[in-house]
Amino acid sequence: MGVFLRLFLFSLFFTSIYAHNITEILSAFPEYSEYNKFLTDTKLADEINSRETITVLVLTNSAMDSLAAKHPLSVVKKALSLHVVLDYYDAGKLHDISNGTTLSTTLYQTTGNAPGNQGFVNITDLKGGKVGFGSAVPGSKLDSTYTKSVKQIPYNISVIEISAPIIAPGVLTAPAPSASDANITALLEKAGCKTFANLIVQTGVLKTYQAAAGKGLTIFAPSDEAFKAAKLPDLSKLTSAELDSLCLYHALGSYDPTGSLKAQKGSLPTLATNGAFKYELSVSSAGDTVTLDTGVDSSRLASTVLDTPPVCIFTVDSLLLPSELFGKSPSPAPGPAPETSPSPAPLAHSPAPLAPSPLLSPPAPPTSSPERSPSKAPTADSQNSTADKNDAYVGVPAFFTGLVSVSVSLIVSTLMS
């Protein structure tokens, strides 16, 4: 147990070291205010903050004008994601690149929408002490150069200024997908979510999705296989209003790509949320895996169908079952039935209880439970128990508390030495 405790404390220690906020970093530099604004508007800031090792290639306000003034937000997001490199580069490393050139992965590559080498940047140490940047697509020019270092937190995040935007062929000219009714259903069907697409059309919830899309919309679409799950409740028993709520529960009234979901804390309201019912989702993440928890079940984000501000569509592995519809029905059924049935039996046969009462008395005394609790006390779970669970053994948790305190002190002293 001590080994796991040490690993846990080390992870907490290094997590605190690696935490960064790109918005706060750039807020100290007014010459990057436009770049910082677009990182926030596109939600790329959340993605940057969720990464441990990253290099942000920033552009001055004048350099951003040439990119942002002529293109919609969805195109700007693609272009800026090419300026976020999934590696750490400071001035020293830029001038010490092996073989003088390297192709580095960017956030654009992680979207799965970058064909060929579009999601990579070419970093080349040029003659005369300059470092050039350009698209990794063959034939692309190194149109941008390293200007200066802005901020480094070795080896977590590096922010460096470059002279001009990095433009991959086809990124600025590709048509931005729209969020029309036809596109949403067509995209869902193509992604293997035809059953869900039909459901939101039949209920009329598609119109609600479309109305929300202008300001922000995130859809969690269950796959067709999710509707075939063995333990899936019988949806035919739901009223039309409940079916509407179920469909609305699978969407947020905001644009939340993967990075934003990772940054969320607490519960998120859905389109089904109203004054009477919460209809909320909880989000957790481990690495690149994002999980949605309803309180009744949980589901993993399987893939990204669309990420075009202000609309984001994901597929999920299973139907999201809100507790407002499915969490309360199972519990009352088994509860009262077994409690009421045994009680009338002894009352109906008064002589009968006299015979079994001596038989019931030996198992009844609580002396048997203390015999079991010491055997369980040394297990790993006992270290997580509290004193109020077993007052007779208050000394055991106290002993482990002292042991944990000593372990923490040893780890901290080791780290500080």
Q: What are the residue ranges spanned by the domains of the chain? A: 22-162, 184-316
CB 56 within 8 A of CB 152: no
* Listed range (116-120, 156-160, 249-253, 386-390) with the worst mean pLDDT: 386-390
The pLDDT of 354-375, averaged and rounded, is: 37
For the chain, count helices (H), then strands (E). Answer: 20, 14
* Percentage of residues in the chain having pLDDT higher than 90: 58
Overall CATH class of domain 184-316: mainly beta
N-terminal to C-terminal alpha carbon distance within the chain:
24
More reliable by pLDDT, 400 or 83:
83
In the predicted structure, residue 248 carries a pLDDT above the cut 90: yes
pLDDT of residue 175: 65
Strand order in the sheet with 157-162: 84-85, 54-58, 157-162, 144-153, 131-135, 120-125, 101-105
* DSSP at 300: E
Structure tokens at 250: 């699978």
Distance CA 214, CA 210 (A): 7
The pLDDT tens digits for 156-166 are 999 999 999 99
Q: Is the Cα torsion angle 89, 95, 96, 99 positive or negative in sign?
A: positive
pLDDT of residue 395: 38
Q: Is the Cα torsion angle 270, 272, 275, 278 positive or negative in sign?
A: negative
pLDDT of residue 312: 94
The pLDDT tens digits for 203-219 are 999 999 999 998 899 99
The pLDDT of 247-275, averaged and rounded, is: 93
Is pTM, for the whole model, over 0.75? Answer: no
pLDDT band at 182 (very low <50, low <70, confident <90, very high): low
Q: What residue type is assigned to position 246 of the chain? A: L
pLDDT band at 296 (very low <50, low <70, confident <90, very high): very high
Name the CATH code of domain 22-162 (choices 2.30.180.10, 1.20.1250.20, 3.30.230.10, 2.40.30.10): 2.30.180.10
Tokens 């501000």 — which residue? 309
- Could you tell me which residues come within 8 angstroms of residue 87 by beta carbon, excluding any fewer than 6 positions away? 53, 54, 55, 104, 105
* Listed range (49-63, 103-117, 379-393) with the worst mean pLDDT: 379-393
The CA-based dihedral angle spanning residues 131, 135, 141, 145, taken in that order and rounded to the nearest 10 degrees: -30
- Could you tell me which residues come within 8 angstroms of residue 336 by beta carbon, excluding any fewer than 6 positions away? none
CB 188 within 8 A of CB 163: no
Domains 22-162 and 184-316 share a fold: yes
pLDDT of residue 411: 46
pLDDT band at 328 (very low <50, low <70, confident <90, very high): low
Nearest CA-CA partner of 296 in 252, 335, 330, 250: 330
The pLDDT tens digits for 100-135 are 999 999 999 988 888 889 999 999 999 888 999 999
